[in-house]
């Protein structure tokens, strides 16, 4: 059931007309009409007000992925996890570099929250994660820290949030590259 249908059902369950709900919310009746017909959707602040007036939790009005706060926790989680991984010593970041990457990630998260369309927000977070990951990987490559290839594999694994099986596939790729002279030989089982 969509927001428009849930809103209409809850409004009727509470015995309110569109006009009465509009009055209680301090909006026009046209706004209620547009919400109930799927032409528009209220901002989260208004959804909270609707929730309060109709005495129903937000989850009765919206699916979890329609609630921006929950949506952000799910889709920005990779960025947040990536930010947390910057604290690892193996990435060889000095304090200024760590601060710079942390600020970039915070800015991406903040900017993402300003995108009202949740599908567009999800794509934005995915792209931001890719950009940050590529920048950090480029940074490490530029600084020649990849003489220990396990750092790069760990970074890629964190960046892609790889499970153990996928991490093994990355190691096989690294081993293949090492065998062809593209990367220094390493003990591929060292970090597994």
pLDDT tens digits, one per residue of 24-35: 999 999 999 999
Tell me the pTM: 0.50
Cα dist from 75 to 48, 65, 80, 167, whole Å: 21, 10, 10, 22
Q: What is the pLDDT of residues 68-89, one digit of tens each?
A: 666 777 778 878 877 887 777 6
**38 & 81 share domain:** no
Percentage with pLDDT > 90 across the chain? 22
Residue 190 lies in a domain: no
pLDDT band for 185, please (50, 70, 90 cuts).
very low
* Letter string b/e over residues 153-164, b meaning 16 or more CB atoms within 10 A of that residue's CB: bbbbbbbeebee
CB 159 within 8 A of CB 133: yes
Residue 18 lies in a domain: yes
User: Can you give the residue range of the structural domain that contains 126?
Assistant: 70-179
Residue 113 has pLDDT above 70, yes or no: yes
Q: What's the mean pLDDT in 164-187?
A: 56
* CATH number of the domain encompassing residue 58: 1.10.260.40
| Cα–Cα dist 189/59, whole Å | 46
**77 & 133 share domain:** yes
Q: What is the pLDDT of residues 158-168, one digit of tens each?
A: 655 555 666 66
**94 & 165 share domain:** yes
**137 & 91 share domain:** yes
| Cα–Cα dist 177/149, whole Å | 11
Residue 123 lies in a domain: yes
């Amino acid at each position: 059931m969509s927001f428009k249908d849930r809103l209409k059902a809850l409004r009727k369950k509470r015995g309110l007309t569109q006009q009465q709900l509009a009055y209680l919310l301090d909006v026009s009746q046209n706004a209620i009409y547009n919400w109930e017909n799927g032409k528009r959707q209220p901002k989260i602040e208004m959804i909270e007000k609707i929730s309060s007036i109709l005495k129903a939790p937000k989850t009765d009005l919206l699916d979890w992925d329609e609630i921006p706060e929950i949506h952000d926790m799910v889709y920005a989680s990779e960025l947040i996890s990536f930010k947390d991984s910057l604290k690892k010593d193996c990435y060889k970041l000095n304090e200024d570099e760590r601060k710079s990457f942390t600020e970039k990630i915070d800015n991406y998260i903040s900017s993402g929250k300003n995108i009202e369309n949740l599908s567009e927000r999800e794509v934005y977070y995915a792209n931001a994660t890719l950009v940050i990951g590529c920048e950090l990987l480029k940074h490490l490559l530029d600084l020649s820290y990849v003489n220990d290839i396990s750092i790069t594999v760990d970074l890629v694994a964190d960046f892609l949030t790889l499970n153990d099986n996928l991490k093994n596939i990355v190691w096989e790729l690294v081993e293949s590259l090492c065998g062809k002279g593209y990367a220094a030989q390493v003990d591929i089982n060292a970090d597994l």
